[in-house]
Amino acid sequence: MASEVLKTFLKKDKRVAVLTGAGISAESGVPTFRGEDGLWKKFKPEELATFDAFISNPQLVWEWYEYRRKLISEVKPNPAHYSLAEMQGYFESFHLITQNVDGLHQKAGSKEVIELHGNIKRNKCISCDKRFEEIELTSKEMPPKCRCGGLIRPDVVWFGEMLPAEAINKAHELSSKCDIFFSIGTSAVVYPAASLPLIAKKAGAYLVEVNLERTELSHLADEVFLGKAGEIMPEIAGFIKDKD
Ligand code: BV8
Ligand code: ZN
């Protein structure tokens, strides 16, 4: 469990930044990208999560996202999501940055979640950039078309696309100014998100990794908790609760 050093960091005046990846939603039943049940096992990222793939095969890409949206609509946050929402209320400065597009952190009560890769529930027109919430899309066409005639796509960041400037800039800033940085449920291979723990470490933060297996980040972390986030995070949050 949490080492004596980590315990010294878990004080309410410490500035905390957290980066989560697909692994934190795994216990909710959302397949990860690169794990055994990985989404990419059945599909290949270059075939689906790129703009070119969408333009060359809009129906296939749209249906893949519809399949994921349906799956995500049927799952619930797990104890790891709830623990982070609880921790947010304890620390004076606590910011949650996610690579996930499933919205489960918000469902668990986390506030001001920084979504680096967008949100699968939102859509946008590739021509006029108009946003559409999922429910607004009534047409049976796959993918639906905007009134301007443009194709509508999921409002997520595909490979080769820029991340939302505000989100990544804020994430960079928070990572460079935190006392403790948690990297939870991410293989730490997708950039620029994967640079955030490195920025934090370089700026002197205490780097904690919580992941099912070791990653490219593990050798840099001050503490690595190998195991399920749904079991480890409640213990860490529980430690904080018992303190006061
Ligand atoms: C950009 C949204 C440039 C869509 C996603 C070569 C070297 C370095 C970089 C690159 C390169 N070639 C290309 C690049 C850039 C590329 C990149 O980093 N590629 C990687 C793969 C090498 N990055 C980009 O393209 C980014 N854009 O660079 O733009 C640019 C510059 C200027 C001008 C124009 C453009 C955009 C990246 C965003 C792509 N979008 N998703 C969608 O979801 O459909 S990425 C996708 O991967 C998800 O967002 C996901 O979150 C993300 C990262 O994966 P993880 O979350 O880490 O998930 P993964 O399955 O990998 O790992 C899960 C971990 O959890 C595992 O370690 C597992 O052990 C663990 N786990 C499992 N269960 C549990 C658990 N842990 C705890 N508890 C459990 N129960
Ligand atoms: Zn449009």
Q: What are the domain boundaries of the chain?
A: 1-30+76-117+163-244, 31-74+118-156
Determine the atom of ligand 1 nearest the C-alpha atom of 159: 25
Ligand 1 within 6 A of CB of 186: yes
Q: Do domains 1-30+76-117+163-244 and 31-74+118-156 have the same CATH topology?
A: no
* Alpha carbon separation from 243 to 10, 12, 36, 208, 238 (Å, rounded): 9, 10, 38, 20, 9
Ligand 1 within 6 A of CB of 234: no
Residue with tokens 């595909």: 158
Please give the pLDDT value at position 36. Answer: 63
CA of residue 13 to ligand 2 center, whole Å: 46
Residue with tokens 């940055």: 97
- Mean pLDDT over 155-169 rounds to 97
CA of residue 123 to ligand 2 center, whole Å: 11
Active-site residue, 117 included: yes
* 142: pLDDT strictly greater than 90: no
Cis peptide before 143 (omega within 30 of 0): yes
Please give the pLDDT value at position 44. Answer: 72
Q: Does domain 1-30+76-117+163-244 have CATH number 3.40.50.1220?
A: yes
Distance, in Å, from the CA atom of 231 to the CA atom of 217, rounded to the nearest integer, reads 21
Catalytic one of 81, 105, 117, 219: 117
For residue 88, name the pLDDT band (cuts at 50, 70, 90): very high
Please give the pLDDT value at position 137. Answer: 67
Question: What is the second-level CATH architecture of the domain 31-74+118-156?
Answer: 2-Layer Sandwich (3.30)
CA of residue 146 to ligand 1 center, whole Å: 29
Average pLDDT across the chain, whole number = 92
pTM attached to this predicted model:
0.95
